[in-house]
Amino acid sequence: MRYHFNFGDVLAYYPLLLKGALLTLELIAIGGVCGIALGIFGAWARSYGPRPLKMAVGAYVEIVRNTPFLVQLFFIFFGLPSAGIQLTELEAASLAMVFNLGAYSTEIIRAGVDAVPRGQIEAGMCLAMTRLQVFRHVVLRPALQKIWPALSSQVVIVMLGSAACSQIAVEDLTFAANFIQSRDFRAFEAYFIATGIYLVLAIFVRQVMRQIGIQLFPRKVKR
């Protein structure tokens, strides 16, 4: 028996696929913005924070980086309610993504922060800047500029990882593909098309990150 591919049946569900793709983008927008913010805080804490905070952030980074995203998601969505924290699917998914990207970006941004020469920090102090001002104006910007490509890749990786959110019934792109294949049994075609859309999304997100980088860091670093 030969199998006849039928992509038309799946494509007929394009509003559903589009809606799913938009939700995936929404998730990575929330996860990206809050995750990077958390990463900046984490990098600050790791480099300049008080000792207990340093250790707490270090433990957080190690735990997140050494456990699968799927398990983090399940823990937040299924586990936390029994500790009295009730979350909707969307809240749990957003939280998991922020939590996940936060740890990775802490590590990435910290590498950038470490690479800022001591002399620049001292120069900033000499200009009577407060510690926070030095971090904000002297350390953070060049640090982010240096690691922006790595951070962009990590955002794309987390976006692709968000496919797992369909497992807690978040209606993202993967959920749409699951739904379509359960309706018309065109499993291969549905996942094939969804994969293609993910590829487009990955390219799109990478471009967005590149543009943000160009806006944030108009000057090239002289080496």
Partner 1 sequence: MSDFTLWDIARGLLLSARWTIALSLVAFIGGGVVGLLVLLLRTGRGHALPVAARTYIELFQGTPLLMQLFIAFFGLSLLGVDTTPWGAAGLALTLWASAFLAEIWRGCVDAVPRGQWEASSSLAMGYLQQMRHVVLPQAMRIAIAPTVGFSVQVIKGTALASIIGFMEISKAGTIITNATFKPFTVYAMVAALYFILCWPLSRLAKHLERKLNAAHRH
Min. distance of Cβ 44 from partner 1 in angstroms? 22
Q: Which of residues 123-152 bind partner 1 (CB under 8 A)?
A: none
Nearer to partner 1, 123 or 203 (CB): 203
Of 12, 18, 33, 71, the residue at the interface with partner 1 (CB under 8 A) is 71
Instruction: Tell me the chain's radius of gyration from C-alpha atoms.
Output: 21
3 binds partner 1 (CB under 8 A): yes
Q: Minimal CA–CA distance to 158: which of 209, 215, 220? A: 209
67 binds partner 1 (CB under 8 A): yes
Of 75, 129, 150, 169, the residue at the interface with partner 1 (CB under 8 A) is 75
Question: How far apart (Å, rounded) are the C-alpha atoms in residues 129 and 152?
Answer: 30
Of 39, 45, 72, 92, the residue at the interface with partner 1 (CB under 8 A) is 72
Nearer to partner 1, 125 or 169 (CB): 169
Query: With contacts defined by CB under 8 A, how many residues of the chain interact with partner 1?
Result: 40
Question: How far apart (Å, rounded) are the C-alpha atoms in residues 177 and 182?
Answer: 9
66 binds partner 1 (CB under 8 A): yes
Considering only 40-48, 59-67, 127-135, 142-150, which stretch makes contact with partner 1 by CB under 8 A? 59-67
Residues that bind partner 1 (CB under 8 A): 3, 62-63, 65-72, 74-75, 78-83, 156, 160-164, 166-167, 174, 177, 181, 187-188, 191-192, 194-195, 198-199, 202-203
